[in-house]
Each structure stands twice: as structure tokens, then as C-alpha cells.
Structure 1
Amino acid sequence: MDQEILEKMQAEFSKIFGSKETRLYFSPGRVNLIGEHTDYNGGHVFPCAISLGTYALVADRQDDKTRMFSLNLADKGVVEFPMSGLVYDKSKDWANYPMGVVKVFEDAGYKAGHGFDVLIYGTLPNGAGLSSSASLEVLTALILNDAFSFGLDMVEMVKLSQKAENTFVGVNCGIMDQFAVGMGRKDCAILLDCNTLEYRYSKIALTGASIVIANTNKPHSLASSAYNVRRAQCEHALNELREVRPDLHALGELSDEAFNQLAGAISEPLERQRARHAVMENNRTLAAVEALEAKDVARFGKLMNESHYSLRDDYDVTGRELDTLAELAWQVDGVIGSRMTGAGFGGCTVSLVKDEAIEAFKEKVGKAYTEKIGYAPSFYVANIADGTHRVK
């Protein structure tokens, strides 16, 4: 990590909490290369952890109280909470994510023996759909596991972190974000079957190309009703399909052909579209990983573009800003593929761009987007990083 960041964090920690012995942790964000809105439909996803993320300086306390301060949200001040019996508290704002993890750990029989003083610093743009919430959740899980020697492996911590977001924060997210954040590996993406949690690492050998994240800078809230509406539509479609295929457990189990044969069983045209995206995006993801492993980067890029069309036309989660970014990217020489990533309705696109074209890409897309939308996007060239870990 950047020595400057660490020194700044240590100075701020001493100012707020006094001089104490600290431990340093890092938890990455994630970007999903392909496989969007498939995770809660029992399909495959292909995310990777990125070098942007969340740092925590942590000191043990003698009592049951935890005090947290975020350098990114300094106006919220120090947030305090006890280490047992927690309930969601709107006034505690961002701290509900770590509080939720403490609560699900306690419910699972892993009770914290004491509290902490924690200083947080994040390098992820807020609300960009790069999983800042999952980053903070898995970070908290590791801090607890490390401090009290609970002996949980990372997959168990990932599951508890997802449970915290589902049951405590109330966002019905799938497992992908927490899994990518916790299980990330440098220079690899993870092909994850969200139905079984079977996974394997796939080396991302992007010779002469990089992953470029473009942020629409449109504020979006994952907890928004639209996300939960899409989930409900897919669940309803699945239930109708089960009437003709009782052995079906998830949309992710269907081939494109099987879906086309059965689709008439879904009575609502809109729900048919939602289900079609879930099925075809899953199969597209498997094809994309196959292409990448065969070093056919051009085909991978083409499938990324098709993923965006499907998210725009069948799933309706893109919106003007994301569509503008993707459409502008497709016009730039040296762009291999581009699509929205994350939940949608704002947030980011992910593009594979030849290294020599990155500056032109930023300039052309940035200028045209600003002219059309009225404000500028932000760009980040992402390195693929390791998952949540203790730094020192």
C-alpha cells in the first residue's frame, strides 16, 4: 500500500482515538467482468477483486464498545455501538454494515469478547457499484475472526457477510460481491457457480490490454426497490416454469434452447424478458470464460457487449448514463468490449481496452459523455488484486 495513506491513517487514528498499537487490514472492491444479475438466479458470475478498496486500522479495547471513524465520511463523526444485541439503526448510517456482521457472527455463536477502535479509509468511489458495502462487511468479518481466533475459513466469512446485508441491512443481494471481495486472487477472475458455490480461478492474461472502469457519477442506491423488484419477477417466472418442469431449481440450470421451449409457460411478457436475461447471461458467461481461456479476447469482448444489450433490453437496469458510456466506448478504436457492471441504474461500466488506446478512450468518452449528460465521468484503470487480508 501507499506509505502516504498509511501515515495519514496513523496520524488521524492517534488524533481521534489516542496512541495505541494497531493492526492494518485491506479489503478490495470488485468488478464483475460478465454475468450480471445471474447470482441470485442460480447462475454463474465472473468477477475479480480490484486494487481499490477499504483499509482499516484497528486497536483492541478493554470494554464491549466499538468506535468507528471513516476518513471518507468525516462529517458523520465517530460512530459507537456495543458488541452484542445490535439492531439496525438508521442514525448510525454506514456503520450498519459492520454492525450487521457483528450481529450475524453473534447469532452464529461467534461472540466478540471486546470492542475495537477502528479507523476506515476507502479508495473506492462511493455508490459506484464496485461493492464498497461488501468490502466493508468482509473486512469486519476478518477483523473479528482474526481478533478472537474463531477459525472460520474465508467462504464461511463470505456467507456471514452476505447474511448481514440480507437480514440486517435489508438488501436482498446475491453472494457474488462478498465472494469476489473475500476470495479474490491477484491476476485471476473467479468463475463462481452461485447455485453450488463451486468456483475456480481463471488467469486473466490480458496481454497489452487493461480493465478500465468508467463511473457514470450518477448517484444510485443498491437498496432501491428496483433491484428487489427484478428478483421477485425472476422468482415468479421460475415458479411458473416449475409447473412444467418440476425438477427445476434455478433459472441458471437452463440452456438457451430449453428456455426458448419453455418460455411460453411464463404468463407475463415482462417476466419472460427478465427470465430470458438470467438464462442467457448465464450461458454467455460460461462461453466468455471459455473464450478467454482459449486466448480469444476478441470473442470475450463481443460477449461483454451482448451482455450489455441484454441488461438494457431484457432486464432494463441500465439507464441513459450507462448506455451512453457503453455506446461511446464501442465507437473507440482499441476497445475490445464494454458493458455495465454491478446492479445498474447508475454506477459503472467495465471495458477491456488496449493499453495504447487508454488515454484516447478516456478523452473521447469523457468529452462526449459530458456534452450529452451534463457532467463528467471518472475513469479508473484497475489492477486485479488479492482478496481481504491483514496487511500487518
Structure 2
Amino acid sequence: MTNTSNTTSDAVTAASAAFEAEFGRAADGVWSAPGRVNLIGEHTDYNEGFVLPFAIDRRTWAALGLRQDARARVTSTFSPEHVEIELRDVSPESLDSWSAYPLGIAWALGENGVDLDSKPGFDVHIHSDVPVGAGLSSSAAIECAVAVALDDSWQLGLDRPTLAKVGQLAENKAVGAPTGIMDQSASLLGRRDSAVFLDCRTLRSDVIDLGFAAADLQIVVIDTKVSHSHATGGYAARRASCEAGAAALGVESLRDVAVDDLDRARGLMDDETFRRVRHVVTENARVLATVRALRESGPLAIGELLDESHVSMRDDFEISVPELDLAVVTAREAGAIGARMTGGGFGGAAIALTPSHLVGAVTARVTDAFAAAGFTAPEVFVVTPSDGAKREL
């Protein structure tokens, strides 16, 4: 088992040292933000529905130092690219590649009322161990680490829900990915051993005790290594279908549609749009049922809901891939009490809620199944529900 405190200390030291090597001076501080696993509630966030993610013990660290001028410079451990730009020139049109994530935060803060002309520029170095393309929200981890770093450094005093909105705006406009607010909320609001139950319409959040440790359960992540991108057409097409379904039903969003309304919905739209709608409506119901089960019965009672969520994403929303389906089926056969793909889909990772003594068996069975199918070897690892974004140094 990895010692998280030692890993964090090493990462802070590495980020600080890399900042000094890149910029020739010490950083003012180091801030971090976690990736997230969505326990259940997929593609419900931008439909103003319910989600239940938790922050994980894979993080992004941002070493940042203010400048004497109005220039921003960004570097990272995962790209050789060094980007420099004047703060006044930062806009969705001026940004591309990975630097759109940290620099998009500066732009989004400006859109949120921060007077960028009055703020000093900054240097920032990004260091991360959140897997990219695995559906664990490596992008939101970058955004949220930089958001809390700039909030502290510029002495803005913004609350966490506001910073989540800033992160979502950066992702939607600067990056061009039409995602909801779940990822940033989980990264900013997460707490150890808990999940964040978020109402994406009101942005009201409750911390829900997961009880995994007491039940001797682990979340096993199976990164299929099938890369995905939210900024490509599949995600946007699903969002458009949801908007079309809401319009056909005469509601503001699919949040306003109940399971009992689905029979009526079937006659108002084509089959594909109906199935997209059915996934979101039933997924919202599954999130509420999962929260109720965790509160009343504990985590051993949620396995079937996880399984049903995957079937809905596979058949109704059609965002799974063969690798994800194989991971889910194999994990269940090896003893997981429930499993589902997590994240936006079209690749990425599956999660399996697994008794601790069966983690090795699940890992071995999934690895063997991928080899037998001729798939790229997956990366299988355990994640622990952890604290949200914070200052480290």
C-alpha cells in the first residue's frame, strides 16, 4: 500500500524543484487538487441532475509564483511545451493544447469579475499523477489546482462553489469541452472517506459517508488505455440529444423528467433520442437510490445499482467500448460486488467495488481477459476517497 503522505511530500518537493529549474527562482507556494472517480451519475450533470463523485488519491500539483509584470508562463512535467502570454491576451481564441487548462482559469476568473489588468502575472509549473484519458478528470485536477493557487495568490477570497463554476467555464469555453460541473466540484469539495452528493441545478452539495473502510471494500480502477477526448463529437452529440429530448418534452432540462414520464416520452421522439433520455432519467433515479442505500444500508447494498448504470450507458447512451464491457463483466465474475464504466465514455476506465481480499483476483482476471482478447494491457490500481484541493506549501 502506498504511503499517501510520503507520496504527497515527494510530489510537493518535485514540483517546487521543477519550478525553480524552469523559472530560476523559488515558487511562492504549491497547491494541489485531486482527480475524481464518479461512483454513479454519468452524463447527468449537464442535464441539471444528480451526481455522486469522490476525490481520489491521485493529484495534480501547481507550483506558482507571482511576477512583477503582467505575463503568464506555464510549464509541466507531461509536455515539453513552454507557453508565455500576456494576461490581457488570454482568451479562448488564444489558447490551445494542454495550456488551455491552466491559462483558461485565468481567463475564466476575468469573466467572473476579477480585474485581470490589476493583477500581477504568474509563473506556474504543473506536476501530476492523475492518468490522462482514463476518465479520472485529469483536466479538472489541473484547473482546480491552478484555481486555488490563483485565488490564494491574488487574494480573491472566492468560495469553492464559485471556483467550481470558474473551472467549468474554462473547460467549456477555453478548452471547448461541453462538460458539466461535476468534475470541478468533486476536486474542490471532496473529503476523505466520503463522496460529494451534488445537485447540479442548485449546486447544493452534501458529503456522504461511503463506509468503504468499515466494510473492507476497495474501489479498483481499470484503465483500459483506450484514450478519449470530451472535446470530440461523441460527447457533444449526446449532449445535443439530451437537449432535443428536453425540448420535445417541453421541460427546461431532463432533470424535470421522472421515470414515470418515460412512457409518454417514447411517443414524442425518435428511438435514439428516447434512449438517450431514458439513460439520464433512470441514472438520476439510480444516484438518489445509491445515496439512500449508503445512508440506510451501507456500501454492500449498491452493487446492483452500479451494474444497472453500466448497462444503461452501454445500451441506451451507447458510450461504452468493448474494453470497458470486458473489464466490467470480468471484474464481476472475479468477485466485485458491482462494476461500471466511469467518466464521459468512449474509452477511459471502469471501476469495480471489490472486497479487499479479492483485489488481487480481480486484477489478475481482468489482465488475463484483456490479453486473451488481444486488447492493450490495462492499468489496474486502487483509489481511495480523499480530500479536495488545498495548499500544500
Q: TM-score, normalised by structure 2?
A: 0.94
Describe how 1:1-392 pairs up with structure 2 within 5 A. Answer: 1=5, 2=7, 3-73=9-79, 75-76=80-81, 78-88=82-92, 92-112=96-116, 113-206=119-212, 207-242=215-250, 248-260=251-263, 262-333=264-335, 335-392=336-393
How far apart, in 2, do the equivalents of 1:167 and 1:11 lie? 32
How many aligned residue pairs are there?
Answer: 383
How far apart, in 2, do the equivalents of 1:191 and 1:29 lie? 16
Encode CA deviations 1:365-385: one digit per residue, 9 max, x unaligned. Answer: 111112214311001211111
Residue 384 of structure 1: SS of its match in structure 2? Answer: coil
The offset of 1:92, in angstroms, is 4.5
How far apart, in 2, do the equivalents of 1:140 and 1:12 lie? 16
How far apart, in 1, do the equivalents of 2:306 and 2:296 lie? 16
**Does the CA contact (< 8 Å) of 1:47 and 1:180 recur in 2?**
yes
How far apart, in 1, do the equivalents of 2:152 and 2:16 lie? 20
**Does the CA contact (< 8 Å) of 2:33 and 2:188 recur in 1?**
yes
Encode CA deviations 1:309-347: one digit per residue, 9 max, x unaligned. Answer: 0000000000111111111111112x1110000000100
Residue 15 of structure 1: SS of its match in structure 2? Answer: helix
Encode CA deviations 1:216-273: one digit per residue, 9 max, x unaligned. Answer: 001111111010101111111111111xxxxx3321233212222x223422111001
In the superposition, relative to structure 1, how do residues 99 and 10 fare at CA in structure 2: closer, same or farther (>3 Å)? Answer: closer
**Does the CA contact (< 8 Å) of 2:16 and 2:30 recur in 1?**
no
The offset of 1:19, in angstroms, is 2.9
How far apart, in 1, do the equivalents of 2:237 and 2:266 lie? 21
Mind listing any 5+ residue stretches in structure 2 that lack a counterpart? none
The offset of 1:98, in angstroms, is 1.5
Residue 92 of structure 2: SS of its match in structure 1? Answer: coil
The offset of 1:359, in angstroms, is 0.9
How far apart, in 2, do the equivalents of 1:217 and 1:300 lie? 27
Letter of the 1:221 partner, please give it: S
**Does the CA contact (< 8 Å) of 1:79 and 1:92 recur in 2?**
no
The offset of 1:364, in angstroms, is 1.0
How far apart, in 1, do the equivalents of 2:236 and 2:62 lie? 31
The offset of 1:11, in angstroms, is 2.8
Residue 211 of structure 2: SS of its match in structure 1? Answer: coil
Letter of the 1:102 partner, please give it: A
In the superposition, relative to structure 1, how do residues 21 and 239 fare at CA in structure 2: closer, same or farther (>3 Å)? Answer: closer
**Does the CA contact (< 8 Å) of 1:215 and 1:378 recur in 2?**
yes
How far apart, in 2, do the equivalents of 1:285 and 1:153 lie? 26
RMSD of aligned Cα (Å)? 1.6
**Does the CA contact (< 8 Å) of 1:185 and 1:387 recur in 2?**
yes
The offset of 1:39, in angstroms, is 0.8
Instruction: Give the fraction of aligned pairs with identical amino acids, expressed as a percent.
Output: 37
Mind listing any 5+ residue stretches in structure 1 that lack a counterpart? 243-247
The offset of 1:145, in angstroms, is 1.1
How far apart, in 2, do the equivalents of 1:350 and 1:61 lie? 42
